[in-house]
Structures are given as C-alpha cells and as structure tokens.
Structure 1
Amino acid sequence: MKQVLSLWIGWRFYMARQSNRFISFISFASTAGIALGVAVLIIALSAMNGFERELEQRLLGVVPHGELTGVNEPIHQWQNIAQDASLIDGIVAAAPFVRISGLIQKPGGFQGLSVVGIQPDLEAKVSSIAQFMPKQSWQALAQGDKNNIVLGKGLADSLGLAIGDTLSLYTPSMGATKAQRIGAAKSHRFIVAGIFEIGGEMDLGTAYVPMDYAADILGLGDGVSGVRIKVDDVFAAPRLIRDLGYSQQQYMYLSDWTRTQGHLYQDIQLVRAVMYLVLALVIAVACFNIVSTLVMAVRDKQSEIAILLTMGMAKATVMGIFVVQGALNGILGCLIGGALGVLVALNLSSIASSIEQMLSVQLLSADVYFIDFLPSQLVLQDVALVISLALCMSLLSTIYPAWKASRVHPAMALAGR
C-alpha cells in the first residue's frame, strides 16, 4: 500500500512540476541530457561493433591469419608444411602463395604493388577473397599459364583500367645489385581479367595472379614464397603459427595478423573504452540535473511534505515519492534515448552515405582506413547495458534529495521558516 501511495503521489508531483517553470526547465534538461547520452552511446557502440565485424569478416577474412615465408630460398616442399599444419589442433587450412613486389606506373609517377600468386582451390580454404570478386575473375586465376591479373577496384579506378586492358609491372632483375636495380628492372605484362572490391586499403595495394605464372616470373620452379595459414580462433594465431614454424627444418619468417593488422583491433577497443567513459560521464552530468530538480522540488513542496508527515505518512514513503519523481525523468530519458539510438544505429550506414552525398565529402577515406564506409551492428546486450547504466545513475541521483525531503520538520515548514 505504501509503495502504491508513493507511486501515485510521485506521479502527481511529476505532472504538477509545470507550476514552477524553472524547475520544469531543469527537469526537461535532465531528461534531454540522459536521452542524448543514451542515444549517442548506443550509436557509438554500434559503430564500434560494426568496425569489429568488418575487421573480422573483410580484413581478417582476406588477410591470412598467419604466414610462413622462406628466408634465403623458396619453400620447395610446401606440402609437408600443410601436412604438419593439419596435425596441429586449431589450424584449419594451409595454402601456398608466391609474392611479387614491384612498381606500376600511374599518372604522376610510380606506385608499389604486391602481386600474390595463388591457387584458387586452395586459397578458398584460407581466404574469403572469392566473395569480393565475380566468379569469372576467380576462374581466371585458375589458368596457371595465363598472365591474368585481378586488381582492386580502387587501384583500377586510379589507373583508369577496365577488364581486358593491359598492365605492366616492373620488378628488379634477379641478381642485380642495389645500384643496378633501377636500370635492370624487368617489365611484365598482365591482362586485367577481373576486379575485386573489398573497400579500403586492400583495394589499392594488392593484386592476384595465377600462382604458376608468378612462380615462372621469379624462376621458383616448383617452389613457393610461403604458406598461408587459417586458424579457427584468430586470437590464438600467434601461438599456433609459432608452434608450426618451430617444427620446420628450413629457416622461415613467421608472421601473423596481430603484427600486420593487430593495431586496428587495439585501436577499436581503445576508442570503444574512451567513448564509453566519456558518454557515461555525459549521462552522469545529466543525472546531476535530477539532483538539482529534486532539491528545488523539495523546497517548493515543503508545505505539502509537512502536511503529509503530520497526517502520519512514514518518512520512507516520503522518500519513495521523490525517488519516483526523479526516476520518471530517468525512465523517460532512457526510453527516448534508447528508441532514438536504436533507430539511428540500424540505419547508420545509410545515414552516413546520405551525408556524404549531400555534403560531397568522404567520411572514411580508403587511403587511411581499412574500409571506406561507416559500418554499424546493433547488439541488444549493449542497449540493455546502456539503459541499465542510465537508470542506475538516475536512481542514485534521487537518494540525497529524497532523504532531505524525509528530514523536513513539519512545524518549521508550515510556519514558513
């Protein structure tokens, strides 16, 4: 009964706050601040979740989880490495590759390009690159004796190339000294057989060719540059690659995604933590407005509080009245902010795209970021966590003003002191 009475009177006090315009304004400011903080925090966390998803599905889906590369000579028995990898629990697949580093000419100078020779049937087990190019382009890489090349969309656009055009790759002559490399550079002619589109820097500096053709260019015979590894748990990649590499007789360079792309994951986690802290403080500041609102409401309602106390109302019930009044601000702010945050988070990518078209700007440049669009992934657990945090802060903000209301002296309040 006491709880129901606190709810009813608290609701009446909340609805009657319009009698004091200043208190009404402070109450509105606290509700708006909580709503804004909740909405922005949900949107920011959704964006961070989107970056993590794209990092895992796009970048880590294409970039190998680990590589074993020959140091002074190519790897001739790569099948043995693949067999050893299959014996290690946690390693999913292995595939050979041949890497050629060279220069391509573009308007204004030259640009470095990493050309990777692959076998499509084996590469599909360690990489999802096939999902980002047409089927015909993927099949063109299976023709080992053809000089086909598949470029990233960003690189093809910058060079003005289309399918069927030719591309020249300049590589240093084998055996040339450092001083002779420029003059002794060899030119290799490729036919653009396809274009893939991942988005971001991967489209600008990487191309794919048939592995046999790449091996012929480098004169590797049946050898390869290295072996790519895919693991089931990306965070276990350093340990698994190390275990595999230490079991080999040949000297090899060992690398994994944490060395090449790990900074991206760390940056995302750092930005997430900073955003969470800053926006949690924004919500906390908005909740302090609830304290101001209730303190002024207690002063404004002292005569009503005194009457209720003289009628025998318990002090706990009086506290409950103002806890309810303050909690209603928090609940309303959480509902508005939660609805707004969820709505924007679900359409964040399209909203960002519309802003880019409207202002003729690019929010994420492929030259800087690993993707060129703003991703978003709404996680219900994040929404629940943010709303719970805001509600807890709102309730904590009501305790002191509600306690002060229960300490009102009826005689002094009714006497106007």
Structure 2
Amino acid sequence: MSSRAGSALPLWLGFRFYRARQSNSFISFISFASTAGIALGVAVLIIVLSAMNGFERELRERFLDVVPHAELVGVNEPVHSWQTMVADASKIPGIRGAAPFIRLQGLAQRQGGFQGLSLVGIDTSLEGQVSGIEHYMPADAWQALGQDENAIVLGQSLMDKLGLNEGDALVLFVPDLSGRQSGKLGATRSHRFVVRGSYQLGGELELVTAYASMAHLARVLEMGEDVSGVRIAVDDVFRAPKLIRELGFTQTQYLYMSDWTRTQGHLYQDIQLVRTLMYLVLALVIAVACFNIVSTLVMAVRDKTSEIAILMTMGLRRSAIVLVFMVHGAISGLLGTLLGVSAGVLVALNLSGLARAAESALGIQLLSSDVYFIDFLPSELHGQDVAVVAVMALVMSLLATLYPAYKASLTEPAPALAGR
C-alpha cells in the first residue's frame, strides 16, 4: 500500500463509518440532533448578527443623519461670533460641515394640557452641511423654513398627538429669560407659529423636536446676530467627541461641548449589548450541539468495537484510529455548519422582506416608529461575521471529537475480538 493510500485510508474509513447504518438507531438519532443543532445555532447567529449590523447601519445613516454629531452651546449667553466658529471648524480635518442654530424650549398647548417641545431654528442654506432633515419632510415645508416667517415643522407623531393639521396655528409658551443673569425670570411669553408641514423619522426625536426659521427666532427672541450654538458633522461619527473638543478648545467664549455619544449613545450601546449577549447565547447553543457529537462518537465507538479491533489487527495504527473517529464526528459538524451558513445567509439577505410578510400575515408590527427610530427590521450581511461563525462551529465540533477518538484508539484487539 502506498503512503498516499495509507494516509487517505483513515479519511475514507471515517466517511464510511459516518454513512454506515448504525446497528443502534438511537446513535443515528443523536447524530442527526447534533447536526441539526449546529445548523440551527449557526443560522440563527448569522441572522441575529446581520440584524444587529442593520440596526447599526440605520443608526449611522438614518438617525445620525438628523441628530447632530456634536455641538457647541454658549454658557448662560448666546454664541456671538458663530461665523468665526464655523470658519475654525472648516480648518479641522475630519469635520465636514458646521452650521448655527437657535434652540428654544417651551410648552405647546394641546387639548387636556401641555406638551413639552424643543424648537430648533435652522438656516436652510447651511443646515444641509450638518443634517439631512430636509429629506424627511416635504419640499414646500423646507422652503417655508428658508423664509423669514413664523413657519414651524413638527414631527408627524407630535403633530398627531397635538391634533394639528397643516395650516393650523400653534402657540408656544416659553419663559422670559431676559433677566436670568440677575437670577430673576420674567413672566411666560407666548409665540405664535403656523404649521407648514411635518417630518417623519420615527423614535423619540419625532415626538419632541420641531424646526423653525433661525432668522425668525432670532428676531422674536431679540438675539440679533447671535445664536444658541454651532453644530458640526464629522466624517467618522466615532471621532465626534475628539473633534468637538479640538474645536471647542480653540474658542475664547465659554461653551458647552456635547456629542451624540452623550445624547444618543445609549442606542448604540444597546445594539452592542444585544449583539454580545446573543453571540454568547447562540455560541453556547452551538457548543451544546457539539456535545451531542461527543455522545454520538462514544456510542459509535462502543458499537464499532469489533471493527476497530479487526482494523488494528490488520496493522492500522492507533493514531489512524484517532483520525478515523475525528473524521466521523467532524463530518457532522461540517454538514451542520454548511446547512446553517446556507440557511442563515439566505434568510439574512431577505430578512426585511420576510419580516414585512410576517407582519402582514399576522397583523402585527414588530417595530413601532413611536418607540424605535425605524419601523422595519433591517439587515446587513457581513462576510466576516459568516466566516467567524463558521470557523467557530467547525473548531467546536472538531474539539468535541478528540476525547471519543482518543478512547477508541485505546481499544485492545484481543479482548474486543474475544467478546465479539
């Protein structure tokens, strides 16, 4: 027998042992259960990781397209020379845009009480550099914000909650802050706005934030050329904390420095926490399925004791016996991994469509835009995730074969054949 044939013999025997009908049907059932368990764990892990990738993508491309990456706000007074601040921001690598804003906190009157509201005054000629809010509202509403008038654009959820329609008047009550430096606040002031439209984004932002013309707010608040602060957009959202500090430390006015990781970072942290927990849980599911390989091989070794003894008397080395049963068990892991990867990739690529079909068939809504910043189940498949999951499952299944294969190699031919 050639050395090449000799090296291939354990692989061939392991494959034959796997294909051979076991004399004990219970062994076949456990072998099937281990393969199915690995396939299920791999598939679900790929699907969950793809869903988490989808949420992270929507957070980055949709939510953070509207929420400011970072902002500088005046401490107890408006920002005086915002043009200089915008010019300074343009000199810092990594900052792709800056725009001024005026923020006004107040109460909007509605039937049965009041609704807290954060009104943001924007300059439509500059806002596109830091926010994509324009893409979430009708063109006529955006044009109204570009004019020096009392137009206001509400989130659709807030508009429904207040019972307002386009063209209705909205009265916003705000505290008179003219005397706050002396520690005395004046009487509440009211400002009248006309609803010119709504934007649809989803989540809490749509319930508490409205937009108006910055020029109009500056006039009614008697701020002149001053603004509440300056917002910036960055190329890499995870560098926002560093870049806003780099910009803030170059200014002479006292400023509050804030970034999205402080105001909205909990969303990203929640996504990462769920990803980590699901990875751990489903990895344990795969590990439990791999333990079934141990049970399968232990019983297979007992079932094949006489065959092992005959092979050893014919000159098959103990190391080859180890390889035979490693191949026997590894085939279950390989088959389960291939089935799981195939099913997981197929579902992950069509997850959003499948979720919509399930919602339509069952009459339910998996994600509510009133709670989350999206109302659909996103998915983004990463080849790296598929590779890591597949390798992890294969390594676990291979490790599970070591002990039973080693015990098979300890079989003594004479006692095994005598008891045949």
TM-score by length of structure 1 reads 0.93
CA contact (8 A) 1:169 1:187 kept: yes
Pairing of 1:345-360 with structure 2 (within 5 A): 345-360=348-363
2:72 corresponds to 1:68: yes
SS in structure 1 at match of 2:165: coil
1:300-329 superposed Cα distances (whole Å, 9 cap, x missing partner): 001111111111122232222211111111
Q: Which of the numbers 96, 111, 114 marks the counterpart of 2:115?
A: 111
Instruction: Look up the equivalent residue of 2:141 and give its one-letter code.
Output: S
* Distance in 2 between residues matched to 1:174 and 1:238, nearest whole Å: 30
Deviation at 1:360, TM superposition (A): 4.3
CA contact (8 A) 1:201 1:371 kept: no
Instruction: Look up the equivalent residue of 1:352 and give its one-letter code.
Output: A
2:216 corresponds to 1:213: yes
Instruction: Look up the equivalent residue of 2:372 and give its one-letter code.
Output: Y
SS in structure 2 at match of 1:161: coil
Deviation at 1:84, TM superposition (A): 1.4
Match of 2:377 in 1: 374
CA contact (8 A) 1:84 1:244 kept: yes
User: Residues 297 and 214 of structure 1: is their aligned pair in 2 closer, same or farther, counting only changes over 3 Å?
Assistant: same
User: Residues 128 and 38 of structure 1: is their aligned pair in 2 closer, same or farther, counting only changes over 3 Å?
Assistant: same
2:58 corresponds to 1:54: yes
2:14 corresponds to 1:14: no
- Of the structure 1 ranges 6-15 and 56-65, higher mean CA displacement relative to structure 2 is found in 6-15
* Distance in 2 between residues matched to 1:165 and 1:370, nearest whole Å: 27
* Distance in 2 between residues matched to 1:5 and 1:156, nearest whole Å: 74
Deviation at 1:367, TM superposition (A): 4.6
Deviation at 1:165, TM superposition (A): 3.1
SS in structure 1 at match of 2:128: helix
2:269 corresponds to 1:266: yes
Match of 2:280 in 1: 277
Deviation at 1:216, TM superposition (A): 1.6
CA contact (8 A) 2:145 2:213 kept: yes
1:127-165 superposed Cα distances (whole Å, 9 cap, x missing partner): 12222223332222211x222222222222333433333
Deviation at 1:416, TM superposition (A): 1.3
Deviation at 1:210, TM superposition (A): 1.2
Q: Which of the numbers 45, 48, 60 marks the counterpart of 2:49?
A: 45
Instruction: Look up the equivalent residue of 1:250 and give its one-letter code.
Output: Q
User: Residues 382 and 227 of structure 1: is their aligned pair in 2 closer, same or farther, counting only changes over 3 Å?
Assistant: same
Q: Which of the numbers 169, 173, 181 marks the counterpart of 2:172?
A: 169
Alignment gaps of 5+ in structure 1: none
- Of the structure 1 ranges 220-229 and 69-78, higher mean CA displacement relative to structure 2 is found in 69-78
Instruction: Look up the equivalent residue of 1:382 and give its one-letter code.
Output: D
Pairing of 1:75-94 with structure 2 (within 5 A): 75-94=79-98
2:162 corresponds to 1:159: yes
Instruction: Look up the equivalent residue of 1:96 and give its one-letter code.
Output: P
Pairing of 1:228-267 with structure 2 (within 5 A): 228-267=231-270
**How large is the Cα RMSD of the aligned pairs?**
2.1
Match of 2:339 in 1: 336
2:308 corresponds to 1:305: yes
SS in structure 2 at match of 1:9: helix
Deviation at 1:103, TM superposition (A): 1.3
SS in structure 2 at match of 1:386: helix
SS in structure 1 at match of 2:295: helix
Instruction: Look up the equivalent residue of 2:61 and give its one-letter code.
Output: Q
Instruction: Look up the equivalent residue of 1:122 and give its one-letter code.
Output: L
- Of the structure 1 ranges 357-366 and 216-225, higher mean CA displacement relative to structure 2 is found in 357-366
Deviation at 1:359, TM superposition (A): 4.3
Deviation at 1:371, TM superposition (A): 3.1
SS in structure 2 at match of 1:400: helix
- Of the structure 1 ranges 312-321 and 382-391, higher mean CA displacement relative to structure 2 is found in 312-321
* Distance in 2 between residues matched to 1:11 and 1:292, nearest whole Å: 18
Alignment gaps of 5+ in structure 2: none
SS in structure 1 at match of 2:64: helix
2:189 corresponds to 1:186: yes
Match of 1:414 in 2: 417
Match of 2:150 in 1: 147
CA contact (8 A) 2:38 2:290 kept: yes
Q: Would you say how many aligned residue pairs link Structure 1 and Structure 2?
A: 414
* Distance in 2 between residues matched to 1:167 and 1:63, nearest whole Å: 24
Q: Which of the numbers 26, 32, 37 marks the counterpart of 1:33?
A: 37
CA contact (8 A) 1:17 1:23 kept: no
Q: Percent identity?
A: 65
TM-score by length of structure 2 reads 0.92
* Distance in 2 between residues matched to 1:19 and 1:172, nearest whole Å: 85
1:153-191 superposed Cα distances (whole Å, 9 cap, x missing partner): 22223334333333222222344789987xx43332322
* Distance in 1 between residues matched to 2:246 and 2:123, nearest whole Å: 25
